[in-house]
């Protein structure tokens, strides 16, 4: 691979490596390493590390940015953001496929376009940045891709239930939506809250949670399901 190619990829990534060998390894598929006449490392170990770094960065971000989401919704959101489809999309935005080192067989079978190979390479690149520049740089790189997906208004999965419900109701200005606390139990360190959401004084959803916000989310979710969303 030519050095110019590496420089072009670094520019697209927005990160300049101190040790370019990390990036070289991240772009080396196991098929190429196995075919090489001299011992070289593939990106498989970097992929393992990158997966872990990606998970902690995304988990930390959505935990702080989505305070109303219960554990189950946080898990679903994280899974959507770190799935093969998303990672492949991120990889293609950098044209990573054009820089991959693949065996002759993988090249002729369009391995550079294969979603699994592109997703694995993206995780390997994350690890390369982490090893070269630390967690801060890896986090900056990851969030450049993840944040737009979370904030994309077309992706209903990434919007909290209260916001979804409010936007639907606001289409008719005569409608009145209210959240009502109906019960709370338990000591201060382990409370449970029950919330009802009403539309024009008609109850359309109920929810409970460890906080009022979590209970409201569950109530809004039930209301959306009742309305067919």
106 given a catalytic annotation: no
* Sequence-ordered list of residues with C-beta below 8 angstroms from that of 184, at least 6 positions apart, any chain: 191, 192, 193, 194
Do the Cβ atoms of 46 and 26 come closer than 8 Å? yes
Give the helix ranges, DSSP H, for the chain.
3-13, 20-26, 30-35, 44-65, 71-82, 84-93, 104-108, 115-133, 135-151, 161-169, 212-226
* Phi, psi (deg, nearest 5) at residue 28: -100, 110
Respond yes or no: is residue 51 known to be catalytic: yes
In order of 57, 58, 135, 140, 160, the CA distances from 143 in angstroms are 8, 8, 12, 5, 20
Listed in sequence order, the residues at least 6 apart from 201 whose beta carbon sits closer than 8 Å to its beta carbon are 176
Place of tokens 């520019």: 11
At which residue do the structure tokens 């209301």 appear?
223
Q: Say which of 123, 132, 216, 222 is annotated catalytic.
A: 123
Q: For residues 126 and 54, is the Cβ–Cβ distance under 8 A?
A: yes
Annotated active-site residue in 44, 51, 140, 149: 51
Q: Which residues are catalytic?
A: 51, 123
């Amino acid at each position: 691979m030519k050095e110019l190619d590496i420089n072009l990829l670094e520019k697209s990534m927005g990160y300049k490596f101190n040790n370019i060998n990390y990036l070289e390894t991240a772009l080396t598929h196991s098929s190429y390493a196995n075919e090489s006449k001299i011992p070289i490392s593939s990106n498989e170990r970097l992929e393992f590390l990158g997966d872990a770094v990606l998970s902690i960065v995304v988990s930390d971000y959505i935990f702080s940015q989505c305070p109303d989401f219960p554990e189950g919704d946080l898990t679903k959101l994280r899974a959507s953001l770190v799935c093969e489809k998303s990672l492949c999309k991120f990889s293609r935005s950098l044209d990573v496929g054009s820089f991959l080192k693949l065996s002759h067989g993988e090249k002729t079978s369009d391995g550079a376009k294969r979603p699994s190979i592109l997703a694995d390479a993206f995780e390997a690149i994350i690890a390369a940045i982490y090893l070269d520049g630390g967690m801060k740089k890896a986090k900056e790189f990851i969030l450049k891709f993840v944040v737009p997906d979370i904030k994309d208004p077309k992706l209903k999965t990434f919007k909290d239930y209260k916001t979804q419900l409010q936007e639907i109701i606001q289409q008719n200005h005569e409608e009145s939506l209210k959240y009502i606390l109906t019960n709370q139990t338990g000591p201060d360190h382990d409370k449970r809250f029950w919330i009802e959401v009403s539309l024009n004084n008609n109850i359309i959803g109920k929810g409970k949670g460890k906080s009022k916000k979590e209970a409201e989310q569950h109530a809004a979710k039930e209301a959306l399901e009742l309305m067919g969303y």
